[in-house]
Amino acid sequence: TSPPEAKKKHATEHVPQVVHSIESAVAAVKAPAKPYVLVGSGTASFSAAQAIKEQEPNANVIIIGNESVPPYMRPPLSKELWFSEDANASQTLKFKDWQGNERNALYQDISQYEIITDVADLNKESTKIKLLLQKTVNKLDVEAHTVELDDGSVIEYNKVLLATGGSPKHLPNQSDVKNVTTFRTVDDLRKLDSIAKKNAHIVVVGGGFLGSELAVALAHRAKTEGLKITQVFPEEGNMGNVFPTYLTKWTTGRVIDEGVDVKPKHSIKSIANAEGDKVKVLFDNDEALEADHIVVAVGIEPRVELARAAGLEIDEQRAGVVVNAELESRRDVFAAGDMISFHDIQLGRRRIEHHDHAVLSGRHAGENMAGKNKPYKHQSMFWSDLGPKIGYEAVGLVDSQLSTVSVWAKASEADTPAAAVSQPENLRGVDVQDIKPSSETAAPSNKQPGNPAEGTVFSDEKFGKGLVFYTKNKKVVGVLLFNVFGKVQEARDVISNGTSVDQIEKIVSKFDIHGS
Ligand code: FAD
Ligand code: NAD
Ligand code: NAD
């Protein structure tokens, strides 16, 4: 066959025509040409769906997700939604950002989707993104180009995106204990919201992003509901796997100031049911704690089973699906978000569990599914806020195992997350649309810190605001902006320029932390 003929054959092989049934019930139906099937209804899928629609407005784009609500952003679930004055916020998912602007965790209203309840309707002509909720994709057949749902129906795809995110890890005997929950979804939020009432004692297990944000959020609720909030984890302090030790200890002090009873260096031996619907936590040091409820926030396990069973390559070290520069796992199978192991051209192979990465990689995968074929080169950022007063943003590798060089300055009222969200250049990816990296550059400050060496801490006054440069082989591989906002692009530049430890002193002025 000549090349054009070969191409034609390939094209017809992959034209998705049939939605056919296994075993019994579901009738065979003709689908419109070329459906893009996006597995998972999280941030990466929604972002990909939008990108495909931008390229091909009439494309048949189907998001399949097993949650009960349409795609939403998770960040406010452990932050702003707990600070809302509206007692019904966990139902409406409306919240005010720290600056007071009205937002909604849902990316768009349900009426803006073509809601599909029967796979037969996948045929329907519609310019909207199609959404199939409360369905789990149980099988991916990469050769037949099909996915199989939990109701037995089979959907043929042209291109498929895997964006299945991650599931919360559990404590060893968690399933034997009654009042224990993990926290990832809107359903989890609604459940915890109903528990966090009337003098309940809640123990948050875990000192990472989720545990620390939730503990502070619950402590805020405690002010009106008389709750008692205890946070337990094995590290030296909050965010101990990310921050250098001194900053971990300082941050723990602030979490305590917010009303959380923090118990660092506490490893859990076991948890158990106790009398009168209570739960008991037993620690390795033989201390014990009784409470009404335990929230477990001990990390996630990327959901790669579908991919593994389909024979796709898994990076066992990082527990992610291996994708190439175009975010493709194999032909016509793309993947994005928390579950991918991808090659970062500056920092090597990585897996990232943050919102902005889900937005950017989802969008990029969507564009490539629609034919763009561009390599993924974005350096994503992430942020976390411990209430409205403490916040940080970061780029690259931030890990407490790395050496660091830090620069600190006195903070003012303007150096808080609440002040930051009012800055238009701030990149917090709350909206999937806000994805273009900012290219603004800072006015250099003429105030310079001293001559840094690895492990150095400069402190004008405690840790009000500052920069932590994480280094590997004498090069900066990560930057943490602590109560410093709107400087994400500068941080990216530091990494992409291959800045060495010796050059840090020169580039600090770009961040203007002593100025304005
Ligand atoms: P997910 O959001 O996990 O979406 C995957 C979806 O796929 C889920 O709905 C899942 O149910 C569904 N699914 C999985 N398997 C199947 C299947 N087989 N069939 C059908 N559906 C399936 N990051 C930040 O950078 N900043 C923050 O402030 C921040 N805050 C957070 C707060 C909370 C409470 C949580 C839980 C996370 C937070 N994150 C934050 C992390 C961020 O939300 C994640 O990195 C992001 O959600 C990853 O998106 P994703 O699309 O890859 O996966
Ligand atoms: P893991 O599944 O091996 O273990 C989870 C954690 O649970 C470990 O810290 C383990 O010590 C702890 N644990 C389990 N049972 C416990 C108990 N009964 N009491 C006390 N602690 C208990 O996962 P992991 O090693 O934490 O990490 C998984 C991945 O996430 C790795 O790739 C890791 O590098 C990454 N990670 C990175 C950071 C970071 O900040 N950079 C932080 C955490 C994890
Ligand atoms: P994490 O990996 O950030 O933290 C895991 C924490 O688990 C560790 O810091 C450790 O304290 C703790 N831990 C592990 N085993 C333990 C044990 N047996 N006893 C006590 N503590 C134990 O994960 P997370 O905080 O659970 O967050 C869940 C997911 O949500 C992650 O993917 C995270 O990146 C994401 N998230 C991100 C943000 C953000 O970026 N701002 C906010 C919330 C959640």
pLDDT (0 to 100) of residue 3: 37
Helix H or strand E segment including 60: strand 60-64
Lateral strand order in the sheet of 228-232: 180-182, 293-296, 201-205, 228-232, 261-263
pLDDT > 50? residue 21: no
State in Å: Cα 251 to ligand 1 middle. Answer: 26
pLDDT (0 to 100) of residue 97: 85
Least confidently predicted of 119-123, 397-401, 455-459 = 455-459
In this prediction, residue 463 has a pLDDT band, given cuts at 50, 70 and 90, of confident
Structure tokens at 433: 């649309």
Please write down the HEC assignment for all residues of 194-223: HHCCCCCEEEEECCCHHHHHHHHHHHHHHH
In this prediction, residue 99 has a pLDDT band, given cuts at 50, 70 and 90, of confident
pLDDT > 70? residue 32: no
Whether ligand 2 lies within 6 angstroms of the CB of 299 is answered as yes
Helix H or strand E segment including 91: helix 89-92
Least confidently predicted of 163-172, 298-307, 402-411, 443-452 = 443-452
pLDDT (0 to 100) of residue 22: 44
Q: Whose CA is nearest to atom 27 of ligand 1?
A: 75
Whether ligand 2 lies within 6 angstroms of the CB of 399 is answered as yes
State in Å: Cα 75 to ligand 3 middle. Answer: 13
Structure tokens at 355: 């919102």
Ligand 2 pocket test, pick from 177, 180, 212, 298 with the greatest ligand atom count within 8 Å of Cβ, gives 298
Alpha carbon 265 to its chain centroid, in Å, reads 26
pLDDT (0 to 100) of residue 309: 98
In this prediction, residue 432 has a pLDDT band, given cuts at 50, 70 and 90, of very low
Whether ligand 3 lies within 6 angstroms of the CB of 485 is answered as no
pLDDT > 70? residue 6: no
State in Å: Cα 151 to ligand 1 middle. Answer: 24
Give the mean model confidence (pLDDT) for residues 242-255: 93
Q: Phi, psi (5° rounding) for residue 257?
A: -55, -30
Give the mean model confidence (pLDDT) for residues 2-24: 36
Q: Whose CA is nearest to atom 30 of ligand 3?
A: 210
**Nearest listed ligand to the Cα of residue 340:** 1
pTM, two decimal places:
0.84
Ligand 3 atom index nearest CA of 383 = 41
Ligand 3 pocket test, pick from 353, 354, 381, 427 with the greatest ligand atom count within 8 Å of Cβ, gives 353
Q: Whose CA is nearest to atom 26 of ligand 2?
A: 299
pLDDT > 70? residue 208: yes
Ligand 1 pocket test, pick from 351, 354, 378, 383 with the greatest ligand atom count within 8 Å of Cβ, gives 354
Whether ligand 3 lies within 6 angstroms of the CB of 211 is answered as yes
State in Å: Cα 338 to ligand 3 middle. Answer: 13
> At 496, which amino acid appears?
S
pLDDT (0 to 100) of residue 420: 56
- The predicted-structure confidence for 109-168, as pLDDT tens digits, reads as follows 999 999 999 888 987 888 999 999 999 999 999 999 999 999 999 999 999 999 999 999
**Nearest listed ligand to the Cα of residue 339:** 1
Whether ligand 1 lies within 6 angstroms of the CB of 385 is answered as no
ipTM comes to 0.83
pLDDT (0 to 100) of residue 100: 84
Q: Whose CA is nearest to atom 29 of ligand 1?
A: 75
Four-residue CA torsion sign, 303, 32, 7, 148: positive
- The predicted-structure confidence for 268-286, as pLDDT tens digits, reads as follows 999 999 999 999 999 999 9
Task: Using DSSP, state whether 365 is helix, strand or coil.
Answer: helix
pLDDT > 70? residue 447: no
State in Å: Cα 204 to ligand 1 middle. Answer: 20
Q: Whose CA is nearest to atom 42 of ligand 2?
A: 241
pLDDT (0 to 100) of residue 418: 59
Q: Phi, psi (5° rounding) for residue 472?
A: -145, 130
Q: Whose CA is nearest to atom 53 of ligand 1?
A: 165
Q: Whose CA is nearest to atom 19 of ligand 1?
A: 136
> At 448, which amino acid appears?
Q
pLDDT > 90? residue 458: no
Give the mean model confidence (pLDDT) for residues 17-36: 50
pLDDT (0 to 100) of residue 462: 66
pLDDT (0 to 100) of residue 245: 92
Q: Look at 330 and 409; give whichever has higher pLDDT.
A: 330
Whether ligand 2 lies within 6 angstroms of the CB of 173 is answered as no
Task: Using DSSP, state whether 281 is helix, strand or coil.
Answer: strand
pLDDT (0 to 100) of residue 237: 97
pLDDT (0 to 100) of residue 437: 26
- CA proximity to 63, closest of 39, 44, 94: 39
> At 54, which amino acid appears?
E
How many angstroms separate the CA atoms of 465 and 64, rounded? Answer: 43
pLDDT > 70? residue 13: no
Number of Cβ atoms within 10 Å of the Cβ of 67: 16
Q: Look at 516 and 171; give whichever has higher pLDDT.
A: 171
Q: Strand ranges (DSSP E) for 327-429? A: 328-330, 333-335, 340-344, 348-350, 381-386, 390-396, 403-409
Give the mean model confidence (pLDDT) for residues 309-320: 98
Whether ligand 3 lies within 6 angstroms of the CB of 209 is answered as yes
Whether ligand 2 lies within 6 angstroms of the CB of 242 is answered as yes
* Average predicted confidence (pLDDT) for the chain: 86
**Nearest listed ligand to the Cα of residue 211:** 3
Whether ligand 2 lies within 6 angstroms of the CB of 273 is answered as no
